[in-house]
Structure 1
Amino acid sequence: MTEGLRERKKRQTRRHISDTAIGLFVERGFEHVTITEVAAAAGVSANTVYNYFETKENLVLPPDQASPQRLADMVRDRRPGEGAVPAVLRTLREEVRRRDRRLGLTDGFGRVFVMMRAAPTLTARLEDLGRQMTDALAAVLAEETDTTPADPLPHVVAWQVGALHELVYTEIGRRTAAGEDPGTIAAAVLDILDAAEDLLGGRILTYAIREESQCSE
């Protein structure tokens, strides 16, 4: 479906506001910049900022990029014959290889990462988001494997995947803050994903394999 002019302008405005806000947050600190100041710097009204971003935190962590359903969606979209964990590993590798913006594999992300870690509200938001992602993944795994609420396996698998996902982001932030270039960081993260896959072993990698019938329903 082709993007219309109205949709493209809205997307560009949203991106402009977000980029402007992040630039101010990096320069002065997240807690020292107001929405009014973001609006003035972006050349829009404060109401316009709120129309695009419901909260100040959303300027840094927009729901469409930092969704609680992120890991669950990777599993929902897995291929026939593919297990839940291999689907997450494959998707992360694809994002790393294309330098996906949501991973922070861009020049300048190191300063953004430092800014985020220095802001208590953003740190709390990240921690809560990680828990929500893990819980949502566990729910999908339980549903698709038809397990009882007392079965701990979906939660165990989900928490292992969640920990790996957090490690990827932490490593990218740490290396970017240290001045490494995106290409070097991407190669290091791919090595981490390979090591994780080797370490996880057969049982978890063959857990919740999607059958052909699941894709045709």
Structure 2
Amino acid sequence: MGLREEKKQATRAAIADAALGLFLERGFDRVTVADVARLVRVSVNTVFNYFPTKEDLFFDRQDEVARRLPAAIRARADGESAVEAARRAFLAELDRDEATLGLHPGIAPFWRVVEESAALQARLRQMRDRSEEMLAETLRAETDANPDDPLPTIAAAMLTAADSTLHTAIRQKILNGKNPDLVRTEVRALAESTFDALAGGLTSYARKNATKTPAAANPT
């Protein structure tokens, strides 16, 4: 990374950190982009150059979140289905304490800001929809599905719903005052049962290098 890019990354991080501090202190709806700009000593236009909307300031890692499931599917091993890959990826995130799960100590104020803002709730739904669309495109490409084959869209909707449910469970448990370590244990059990349920209907779908069967063909 060159010096120019390093400076841009540093500026972006400074803006995001300052914004989060203000949001946690005042609440999302009571902070303006101008407030953030003044704190970082940059122009409002500079803030918008890095973050197109105020919601982007809060969810500054949303692109990374949206790419999670598609990346897990592309990285699946030979013989591993889409459900198995999604399960493995989620459990691995729990094991390494992935920051975007929102399970680290002191995270409750962050989730409380989300809970109190209709704008942030709407952005969460948009992030989920974007992840589902990206996952459907990935599944269609990975399985060489025909454009009119509904299975990639159906599978993406099911997998995204399961993933979203697990993340919502984390948020609600943290907001209820549970210790992050306890939440991690409870969500692991929930994840296992959730993906077991999905596997019952999608057990062989998108199994890498598997021989295609008539059942997987597009219905006529």
Name the TM tier (shorter chain): 0.7 to 0.9
| Match in the other structure for 1:197 | 195
Q: Provide closer, same or farther for how the CA distance between residues 184 and 14 of structure 1 changes in structure 2, counting only shifts above 3 A.
A: farther
For structure 2, which runs of at least 5 residues remain unmatched after alignment? Answer: 211-220
Equivalent in 135, 140, 143 of residue 142 of structure 1: 140
Separation in 1 of the partners of 2:163 and 2:147?
24
Question: Which whole-Å deviations, capped at 9, do the CAs of 1:40-81 have from their partners, x for residues lacking one?
Answer: 2334443442332222111112243343x4322221222222
Separation in 2 of the partners of 1:46 and 1:183?
40
Deviation at 1:7, TM superposition (A): 4.8
Separation in 1 of the partners of 2:157 and 2:51?
30
Separation in 2 of the partners of 1:198 and 1:64?
28
CA contact (8 A) 1:138 1:154 kept: yes
Q: Provide closer, same or farther for how the CA distance between residues 117 and 181 of structure 1 changes in structure 2, counting only shifts above 3 A.
A: same
CA contact (8 A) 1:110 1:174 kept: no
Amino acid at match of 2:192: D
Deviation at 1:112, TM superposition (A): 1.5
TM-score normalised by structure 1 residue count = 0.84
Equivalent in 86, 99, 105 of residue 101 of structure 1: 99
Spell out structure 1 runs of 4+ moving beyond 6 A.
none
Question: What is the RMSD computed on CA atoms of the aligned residues?
Answer: 2.3
Alignment of 1:1-217 (within 5 A): 7-8=5-6, 10-62=8-60, 63-67=62-66, 69-211=67-209
Amino acid at match of 1:49: V
Separation in 2 of the partners of 1:66 and 1:59?
15
Separation in 2 of the partners of 1:13 and 1:108?
25
For structure 1, which runs of at least 5 residues remain unmatched after alignment? Answer: 213-217
Q: Provide closer, same or farther for how the CA distance between residues 106 and 42 of structure 1 changes in structure 2, counting only shifts above 3 A.
A: farther
Separation in 1 of the partners of 2:162 and 2:145?
24
TM-score normalised by structure 2 residue count = 0.82
Question: Which whole-Å deviations, capped at 9, do the CAs of 1:134-168 have from their partners, x for residues lacking one?
Answer: 12212222332233344332222211111111111
CA contact (8 A) 2:83 2:199 kept: no
